[in-house]
């Protein structure tokens, strides 16, 4: 992977962090209701407004921290020598993926608990 590709990946990842944070923050505050394009979209979370909000409130702290950690790692990677940058970028993307999956799981669990 050449340097320009890594800069592109870092830039796109930072944009993804901003979008992920904005979506989860808006959904957790109730400004973004159940829809078909953004948020934690499962059968349980989209059942009603209560389950949607519960899922996003539960997932918000983890998604916020995941997006912040990924952005920090990506920015730090820009200051590393080329041969080390790709490793940190891969770790950051893996951590972002793991955080999104775990936040979705936590949200799903909260939605099911709210639908009593």
And the tokens for 62? Answer: 């983890």
Burial per residue of 74-113, b for 16 or more beta-carbon CB atoms within 10 angstroms, e otherwise: beebeeeeeeebbebbeebbeebeebbeebbebbbebbbe
Q: Domain map of the chain by residue range? A: 3-114
Put residue 43 in one of left, alpha, beta given phi > 0 → left and psi -120 to 50 → alpha: alpha
Q: Specify the pLDDT at position 5.
A: 86
First to last CA, the chain: 50
Nearest-angstrom CA–CA distance, 3 and 63: 28
CA distance 111 to 84: 41
Global confidence as pTM:
0.86
**pLDDT value for 94:** 94
User: How many Å apart are CA 40 and CA 55, to the nearest integer?
Assistant: 7
pLDDT-derived band at 1, boundaries 50, 70, 90: low
Is pLDDT at 2 greater than 80 in this prediction?
A: no
Give 20-79 pLDDT, tens digit per residue: 999 999 999 989 888 889 999 999 999 999 999 999 999 999 999 999 999 999 999 989
User: In angstroms, rounded to a whole number, what is the distance separating the alpha carbons of residues 46 and 69?
Assistant: 28
């Amino acid at each position: 992977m050449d340097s320009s590709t890594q800069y592109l990946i870092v830039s796109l990842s930072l944009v993804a962090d901003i979008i992920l944070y904005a979506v989860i923050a808006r959904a957790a505050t109730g400004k973004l209701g159940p829809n078909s394009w953004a948020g934690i979209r499962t059968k349980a979370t989209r059942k009603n407004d209560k389950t949607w909000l519960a899922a996003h409130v539960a997932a918000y702290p983890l998604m916020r921290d995941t997006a912040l950690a990924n952005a920090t790692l990506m920015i730090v990677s820009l200051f590393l020598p080329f041969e080390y940058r790709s490793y940190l970028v891969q770790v950051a993307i893996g951590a972002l993926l793991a955080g999104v999956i775990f936040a979705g799981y936590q949200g799903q669990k909260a939605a099911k608990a709210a639908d009593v």
